Structure 1
Amino acid sequence: MDSPHGAAVTAEDFGLRGPRGWAFRGVDIEAGPGSLVAIEGPSGSGRTCLLLALTGRMRPTEGHAEIGGLRLPRKMAAVRRLAALGQVPGVNELDPAFTVAEHLRERALLQHRFDGSLRALLRPRSERVAAARERIDAALAAAGLDTATLPKAERTSVRDLERLEALRLSIALALIGGPGLLAVDDTDLKLSDAERAEAWELLRSIADSGTTVLAVCSQAPEGAVTVRTDTTAAPADAQAEDTTTEEGPADAFAETGRA
């Protein structure tokens, strides 16, 4: 899998108001392609809403942002095609009953079905299977997930994964589509200090490879482009007054990876 060219992320006076008040407002960002952007703040400070707004899943109500030159909120659908979601609780979660292999096969199938060219769709099945396996292996390597070390290798159920392993799997699934922007929620939640360091090392390596990374956290790592959410805003579960675009619901994306 070739490293994609990351999407620059900019925002000016960016805000989202829901029925319970402002989820976030007054956000300014200036991050070049291949940056590691950390959205820092306590739980309930609007971090997840900001992540979803920057990936085209929620409609902002104030200011503007650009993702890879695509202006929000006007180009929400195009931004959704560019940006991939890793884990986002309540929006894009791993199914605990599925195995690692089932998640990977499903994501590769979706990628092939919706993003493949006509020529690719007409290739012999053996070639399509080999190409899908190649994408999966490259994404697993980039996410640092060695399935051979899991209790039942790729047959391991998600419910049996450690927290850091589940994080790596969600990132691998997102990377299968070769996004310009990778977005991850609750990056450092329930991780030990050592695991937190591993997680940030992983995300930094993905950014260094060319994919811009947007990560929600309670404490940003040194060297990241840090965006701090307003702790006086409404809780992060406040929904936008209008999250629907002309293309359909902007936040109705349950599958892992690029929507």
Structure 2
Amino acid sequence: MRTKTIRWLLLPALLALLPALGRAALVDCQPAAGRFTVFLSEPSGPLFTQPAQLRQFMQQLQFELDQNRDARWVLSPGTDVRFVACPGRAPALDGQDFGRDIVDALHTRRVLLEVWGLLSSGPGADGRPQPQAQMNFLLVPLQQAANEQGASAAAGASALQRLRYPEAGAAPTSDPVLLIARPTDIDAFVASAFGLKLLRERSFELAHRNLCRAGHLLGAIARRPLAGRSRDDLARLREQVRAAAGQAVAQAKADANYPKLGLLRLREPAQPCDAEEG
């Protein structure tokens, strides 16, 4: 009888361990040396049936984002941002792999953003199969700050943002790279994470410019037909980004080492961005 009782007492703990036991450790990925980095991790889902197809997709996605366009976040000499494909690194869709230790390591290595998701296929408006995606964007500096703040961060924006493609009314495409590589979306999240990271590093002017740019780009996303949690999470992120832009102004003015003729001395924390930026 006692043995049965012990078994029943242990059962909840064993069940709680099953997801972790069945999940492989998150494969490490090397960031771009000496640069800020965005990790492009492997998507899950049934869209690619052969490993070679998945590898080709990731190579094409990296090229499209890293080489084949003009980014809209704000750079200065020494602050390059590069995209790195991470074969074999496939985080869980709910983000449960990103515990404190992993986020600390990403933050220390200047990884700004990790992108992954679920790729599948469904009928398009014309009835033909079209790629579909749920994409996740983890803003590493925001998650790092939430980890440090603990319970007090509960009311802040979620570091894990989610978007679904294609959206209602979007032009159909059979190319999953073009489906995902949306410049406004990627650049909005990169600029947000970049600005938050630079603010922590007390690079006030570049942080301010990126945070204001992020607010503008996030506003453009918010005008699209988003739904449910994605819309609400995006709105909270935009509010937090604008607040951080105000913090950049306030902290710069309070910093004895900030130049007396610095541009942020002309700004006010309550209205840190120009109308066209925010």
TM range (shorter): under 0.3
Structure with bigger RCO (C-alpha 8 Å, 6+ apart) = 1
Higher Rg:
2
Structure with greater helix percent: 2
Query: Larger strand proportion, structure 1 or 2?
Result: 1
